[in-house]
Amino acid sequence: MNRTTATVALTAILLGMPGVSLAEIFVIDNDHTSVTFRIRHLFTKVSGRFDEFEGKVDFDPAKPEQTKVEGSIDTKSINTNVENRDKHLRSKDFFDVEQFPKITFVSTKVSDVDTKAQTGKLHGNLTIHGVERPVVLTVQFLGRGKDPWGNDKAGFSATTTINRKDFGLAWNETVETGGLLVGDEVEIEIAAEGNVPAE
């Protein structure tokens, strides 16, 4: 048996063994993914989203601790359904989208894996407004399967809370009662569906 034949045979054996799986790279499906946030405004919270983003998840359900994630968001795509507010958020008071067109995230490790609940903590570096900070996201694997058209799909969720001032987004206004117009903490939620690209 030559080396090539042996390699093919070994691969076939491994693929046929129960419990053995290989990592797949899932490319984020923008049509079935949402990137949303919430922040306090006066006495309540305002929600918004980003409409343009991309990313990929290198994931093996048998080895979730080896998961790797990277992604980026176009800051100009921020959308709170109020045009004037969105223009302000794109300005130099906040995201300054001309100078800082992207928000990026690159994972560094996974911890606190719960294989039964399929949850864990995803650590990584988040860059906003040109400032890079470490963050931790609470993540969950939601399942994998084929859609009606035969596409290989997987679902993931992630949540975290950041302080916008840590990233240089410090604009605010004092209101009549002495408080501040905008809160500091931003709640972020990602509901992602990924595709395995066709070969």
pLDDT value, residue 151: 87
In a domain, 77, yes or no: yes
Residue of 69, 90, 68, 71 lying closest to 79 (CA atoms): 90
The verdict on residue 117 lying in a domain is yes
For residue 13, being part of any structural domain is answered with: no
Work out how many domains the chain is built from and give that number: 1
Q: Distance between CA 139 and CA 190 in Å, rounded? A: 9
Find the domain containing 176 and state its range: 21-195
For residue 72, is it within any domain?
Answer: yes
Of 48, 54, 34, the C-alpha closest to 105 is 54
- CB contact set of 155 (below 8 Å; sequence gap of 6+): 141, 142, 143, 144, 191, 192, 193, 194
pLDDT in the model for residue 11: 36
Indicate the pTM of the whole model: 0.84
The DSSP secondary structure of 166-181, one letter per residue, reads: GGT-----B-TTSSBS
pLDDT the model gives residue 17: 39
What pLDDT is recorded for position 178? Answer: 52
Q: Could you tell me if residue 176 is inside a domain?
A: yes
Residue 8 falls within a domain, yes or no? no
Whether 7 maps to a domain, the answer reads no
- pLDDT single digits (tens) 119-165: 999 999 999 999 999 999 999 999 999 989 888 999 999 999 999 99
Structure tokens at 175: 């209101």
Question: What HEC string does 83-130 produce?
Answer: HHHHHHHHCCCCCCCCCCCEEEEEEEEEEEEECCCCEEEEEEEEEECC
Q: Is residue 2 part of a domain?
A: no
pLDDT digits (tens, 9 = 90+) for 96-107: 999 999 999 999
- Here the CATH number for the domain that contains residue 163 is 2.40.128.110
